[in-house]
Each structure stands twice: as structure tokens, then as C-alpha cells.
Structure 1
Amino acid sequence: MKPKQVLEIFAAFQKRNEPKSIAILRILVAILFLAILICYMYVQIVDVRLDTPIFSVKMQDTIEEEEIPMPNVHFAYGFQFNINCQIIGRINKTSLEDCEPYLQQPESSSTNGGIYEGVFEANGLNFTKFDIEKIEFNFTINDPNVIPLDDDSDIGIKIQIFDSKTQDPLNMKNYKEDNNHVKNSILSLTDLNSYHLSSHEYHIVELSRIKRNVAKEYWWNILGIPPKYIYETFINSQLESHPLLEALNAPANSYAKLALIMRTWRVPLEQEQKAKTLFDAVGQIAGVVGSLSFLYSLLFGTGSNAIQSWGIVQKMKWFGIKKGVKKHINRRYPRMPFIHTSEDGDNEISNNNVNDRDDIIERLDAVERFLKEYVVDADFLAQLEKLDKESNNSL
């Protein structure tokens, strides 16, 4: 048999048998590491999917407007009330523009528990930088005897302010945009500028306007593919309340007064962006894969072809593996020296020593069993025997 043939067989059957305890531990650790990797990937995907978008302001696109549309205002109160309004300018204290046609007087709502609801719809009315500075609303209670105006349980008239050029979030029936992210962005404005107006007070709401490019979000955007945008505008506001100075001279049914004014005429443009994408998470996932591979190699080695083929588990006395193997070998195989020195000093080997046929057979059987169970695959020796017979027959 040629050495090259032996090496070929050994390469084909180079599997190293190991104790079942190590094999089971190896499988359990591999399953555990795989589960950790899958869970980490799932967490990364969910984190990217639910990542809160950020809005960056493009300073170069911030402009100073000369005209800004007046907002729409929704009013709601538990008792019947009336509203009148007045547009006030800088030059002429009262504007020639009549705002009463833009008012829908409060009516009882059958779908909202009988609450009285009214609306002011701007429909083209504008604040102008050098003329129209504010619009005022006066509220009166139809029957002042129904509710004492100094009652602490009175939560006041609720108002909700929205940009008149953007879809009204309280009336989405005719909204044509079907992208859920855009819809949710509009609906999130519902409580952004919501206030309760207390009685006997003059309420001033300072307004500012923001333009925003809202992303039309689809599943492929989490991969980092730039989304399409839809242009929207919305209102920011700040409420200040002061005692109503003319309350003493006002009618008995007078409730409160509201003024809407512009705080600034500068309108910034915001761009919606995703802070995270799946491409950003690939590096983190690769780092976890590398860490788990290193731990696995540290525990179980890097394979029979590597420099460090055994790991900590094979070397240390963990789980009783090494100690158990030693006990098994000592119990299964006879302890016979490969070299036996003669005690009679005449260099003659006695009949009951290594030359004894039975001892030789027993010794060879022990070596063969040890090789099959701990060194090479069982088929390796069978292949050697087969190859040896073929070589003998060829001779």
C-alpha cells in the first residue's frame, strides 16, 4: 500500500469522533447562537421599521412671507353659544373684509354627545405683513342662567387650530391620499394646537407656519431607497391668557375673547428623513456574527485543518468530559506496554511475553478499537484493509 493512498483515504475520512457529551453540547451551543443571531436581526429590523423620522430644517429654503393664510378653527362647548368675529388691520383698525360669512355658528352634534360645535373656515383669507395683523372672536352664551360663568367645573370652550391649506384632520372623508404614513402625519395634528378658553379672559394665540415635505413611506424605504414626498403645511401656536378688561362693561352673557396673530413671518421648510436603514444595521449584524463565531471557536476549536483544532471544552475538565474519557479508556483497554524488557538479562524473550501470540492479538485489537473510537472514522481502517488486500492480490 502506498503512503499517498493512505493519505487520500485519511483525507476522505478525517472526521474525528468525539464523546457524545461534547457533540450534544456543540449542537446546543450552535442552536443557542443561531437563536441569538435571529433575535438580534429581528430586533434590528423592527427598530428600523419603527424608527421615528426626524425633520431637518433647510435654512436656505426658509423664506420671509408677505402673506400667510389664516387658519381654520374648530369650536366646541357643552352649552349653546354664539360666535362673532372681526378682522383687524394695522392701518385701518377694522378691515373692510367681513369674516362673518366664513363662520358656521355652533350647532348641537348628534355624533358627539350633544356638544355644540362651530367652525371658522378661512377659505382664502390671509394675514398680511403690513396690514392685516389679527382676527378676533367674541363668544357669548345664549342663556347665561344655564351655567354660572364663575363655576370651577367649567372647562371652557375647546378650540382646535389647523392650517387652512392642508387637509383638515377632523374631516378626512374626501382626502384622496391613500398612503398610511401621510394620513397618520395629518391625523397627528389633531391635538397639536388644541386649547380650552376660560371665561372672563382675553386669549391671544400667536401663530407660526411651517412647510414640510412628508415622506410617502413604503416598505422598501427601510432599505435606504429615497422616498417620494408630499408637500404639506401646518401651524405651530402659543397661547397667552389675560384678564378681560372690558368684562365689567360687557353684557351678562359675554363669555371670552380670542385673538389670532402671527408671531413670525419666516416660514422654514422641513424635510422628513429616516435616521436608520437596514443597510446601516448590516454592519452591526456582521459584528454579532463575528463575535458568535469567535466564541464558538474559543469553545470548540476551529476544525481539524486549523492550527488550533481543539477549544476550551476539549481541553478543560468541563462537564466531566475529559475525566470520563480517561475512565472509559482505562476500563475498556488493557494497560500493556509496547516495549517489554526481559528480566533474566540474557536478551531472550520468554514465551509468556510480547511474542506470545495471544498477547499480540489482544494488543492489536485494543489499538484497532482505540483508533476506531477516538482517532479516525471507523470506515478508515476498513478502507485500509480493502486497499491492502487489493495490493496483495495485484502482487
Structure 2
Amino acid sequence: MNLADLFRKSRRSEPTILLALKIFTMIMLIASLTGYLIVVIIDVKQDASIIMTSFVNVDAIRPPHLHFSSSLNHSISNCVEFYSLNDDVKMIECAPEDTSEFFDTENQIYSSNYFPSPNVLFDEKLLAITMYFNIYEKITLEKPSQINLVAFDSEFIMDYSSSYDKSIFTMNRYTLEPGQTYEFSYSRVIRELIKPSWMNDFGVPPTYEQKPSISSSLLGGPLNNNLNNLMKIDIRPKSTNLVQVDREVRTHTYLSGLGLIGGAWGLAAAVYAFLFGADTLRPWGIVQSYCCGFSRVTQKKLRVVLPAIPFFDTLNPSPINHAQNHYADLPLAKQNELILSRIDSLELFLQEYVVDVQYLDGIRKNDRNNLDFKE
């Protein structure tokens, strides 16, 4: 489908109405391509990223940050880390700075926090972390007895202006009861968010912002002897060497849109060729036609290689300008020589620019070799 046909006259061998039909078909195809281009642009502007999940091997992962709050007066009475050393389990007290207590006098809320030190890592040695809580009030029906737990990644830094950060902060919330033992298991998740940039629409590899979080579960059961003034919680990772990575990926960009438009253009060209046949071959491109220096060198080379132009004047195609009229006053031998020269030039032109004769040359060479072998 050559857009230049919109500005050309009809072929001398075709009726004029066929040119009108070609132009109408081409306009309809171009209008369809323009509409499709608009749809592609809208898809890029309204593109919502998808999440690709992968798993990365790590040497160890940090314990989570646990925040306990309740109207009950409580505190972390003991925190123990269990290590596997030489086929034996050894208990080590948590560092004093790993736990803290706080009382909100305004809201009458007691808070306890576990924030592990940087050197505390779940690996092949650290098996579990256990915390014991003391409840300093008697459990009654009039006063709520629940203890609220919020857990999040130790490296998470809250951005209160981000709705995603707020969702991370509240996605691991549980309600605990005194007199129970709980097993808190978790896995680490790193969300890689695309930083906003105009270059993202064009398919340029984006820069990412990492947001660590955890995915957790909590199982509970009664303590022995139903001690309502105690509570126990064990912290264990689901895996000590795997971290889930959720990466945002753009599915629509202008670069991918170019591929779609190219495919649509190819389909339109195929439809046009199916209806009206293929276009004439154009062996010369922009470089040979317009580039400085190359066009002049190309034309000069053609004048040398093809001194007898193999086609009569297309600008003035009347019979009076046909080559035979130019040869009428020449001797017959000269006419034959010029005609043979034009035929040779025409064959050379067809071989160089129209027909790939390499396959035919191979057949001719094989036939010649077979003939020589028989002789």
C-alpha cells in the first residue's frame, strides 16, 4: 500500500474508476489505522501495571517488628532466642533494647513492642523467638480482654502520605487472648514499585522503589493449666532462605504500541494487495534518492552501467516518442545493435533490481556441469 498513489494519475492500462476505488479503499484503511493508533495511545495512558512474582535466595531474614496494644495492663516478661548449636538447642535472652513498654495516658492504652536488633537473623542457627507476657489485671466480663497485634517488616519505614504504606501497616493485624499460646509464622515480601516518570510510557526501563513487608499467619491454643494471667507467642519464619519479590511491570508502552501499529499496517497492506495486487517495485530508497552525495553517485553509476535506458519516456508516452521511431532512419544493422543493447540493459536492470536470479543461475550451472560430465 503506497500512500503516493493518492497523488498519482491512473495507470494507462487500467480504467479511471479503478483509481477512485483504490483511493477510497486506501482512505478507509488509513482511517482504521488512525483509530487503532488512538486506541493504542489511550491504552498506554491508562495502563495499570501487573505484578510479576519471583523468589530470591537469601542467607537469612530478619524477624518482624511486633506491636502489642491493649487496655489491659500487660508487659513482655521474658524474650528468648532459640539457637541450634552442635546438635543442641541453646536459649539466649533477647537484648534488653529489643523490647520496650509504653503507656498512653491520654487513651489509657498499654503498648509493648518487639523490635529486633540488626544482628538478630533467622538462619540455619536461629530456630525461633519466644516471648512471654504477664497480664497484671484480672479478666472480667466488663472489661475487654483482647490484646491487639500489628506486625510488619523490620526494615519498613512508614510513609503516612502513601496509601500503599498504610495498607502494609494494617495487613498483619490480629487479636490475641490471655491464657493462650500462639505461633506466629511469616514470610518476607519485597514489593518493587515503579517510580513515576514520563519515560515509563515510552518503554524505558523504569527505576524501582522497594517496599518490604511480610505475609503472616497466626495459630493459637490454650496454655497449660489455663493461666489467664500469662500469654506466649512463638515467632518462626516459613523459610529462612527465600524472599518473595513482587515487581510492577508495565504491559502497554509506546514502544510496544509501535509493534502493534506495524502489525496493523502490514495487515492493511496485505488487504490492499489482496484487492488490487502488489505495488510496483521501488528498488531505490531515501538514501539513493535524497541523501546528499549518494543520490548523485547512484545516478552517475546508473548512466555508466545502463547507457541505454530500457524504458521509453514515461513523461511523454505518446507513440511518436517510442524507441522504434528513433531508430527508423538508422541502418538495419545499427537498429539491431541498439535493440540488442537495450535488451542487455533491460536484462541487467531486471537482474539487479527486480528478479533474484541467483537460484536460476544455480540451476543453469548444474545443467552445464552435467552436460560437461556427459561429454
Q: TM class, shorter-chain normalised?
A: 0.5 to 0.7
Structure 2 counterpart of 1:342: none
Size of the aligned set, in residue pairs, is: 265
Structure 2 counterpart of 1:86: 78
Q: 5 Å matches for 1:78-227?
A: 79-90=71-82, 93=91, 95=93, 97-98=95-96, 102-105=100-103, 109=107, 116=109, 118-122=111-115, 124=117, 126-127=120-121, 129=123, 130=125, 133-138=128-133, 140=135, 142=137, 144-145=139-140, 147=142, 156-167=146-157, 169=158, 172=160, 186-198=165-177, 200-210=179-189, 214-227=193-206
Pairwise CA distance, 1:205: 0.5
Mapped partners of 1:132, 1:85: distance in 2 = 20
Judged with a 3 Å threshold, the aligned counterparts in structure 2 of structure 1 residues 83 and 297 are, in CA distance, closer, same or farther, namely farther
Structure 1: where are the runs of 5+ without partners? 1-7, 174-182, 307-395
User: Secondary structure of the residue that 1:42 maps to in structure 2?
Assistant: helix
Pairwise CA distance, 1:50: 0.9
Query: Any conservation in 2 of the 1:88–1:132 contact (CA below 8 Å)?
Result: no
Q: 5 Å matches for 1:308-387?
A: none
Structure 2 counterpart of 1:262: 237
Q: CA offsets, 1:233-253, max 9 Å, x none?
A: 433322222223242x444xx
Name the aligned partner's letter for residue 235 of structure 2: L
Q: Of 235, 251, 273, which aligns to 1:276?
A: 251
Mapped partners of 2:127, 2:185: distance in 1 = 14
CA RMSD across the alignment: 4.8
Per the normalisation by structure 2, the TM-score is 0.52
Mapped partners of 1:108, 1:186: distance in 2 = 26
Stretch of structure 1 that moved more, 29-38 or 238-247: 29-38
Mapped partners of 2:74, 2:25: distance in 1 = 79
Judged with a 3 Å threshold, the aligned counterparts in structure 2 of structure 1 residues 225 and 32 are, in CA distance, closer, same or farther, namely closer
Q: Of 239, 245, 249, which aligns to 2:218?
A: 239
User: Secondary structure of the residue that 1:86 maps to in structure 2?
Assistant: strand
Q: CA offsets, 1:155-183, max 9 Å, x none?
A: x433221122221x3x647xxxxxxxxx5
Pairwise CA distance, 1:122: 1.3
Q: Which has the higher contact order (CA 8 A, sep 6+)?
A: 1
Q: CA offsets, 1:192-248, max 9 Å, x none?
A: 42223345432210133356655434231243322334455433322222223242x
Q: CA offsets, 1:31-51, max 9 Å, x none?
A: 5664354224422x146x312
Judged with a 3 Å threshold, the aligned counterparts in structure 2 of structure 1 residues 262 and 187 are, in CA distance, closer, same or farther, namely same
Name the aligned partner's letter for residue 238 of structure 2: R
Q: Of 37, 54, 74, which aligns to 1:56?
A: 54
Q: CA offsets, 1:299-354, max 9 Å, x none?
A: 9x799x99xxxxxxxxxxxxxxxxxxxxxxxxxxxxxxxxxxxxxxxxxxxxxxxx
Q: CA offsets, 1:49-79, max 9 Å, x none?
A: 3121324334xxx2323xx4332223345x4
User: Secondary structure of the residue that 1:102 maps to in structure 2?
Assistant: strand
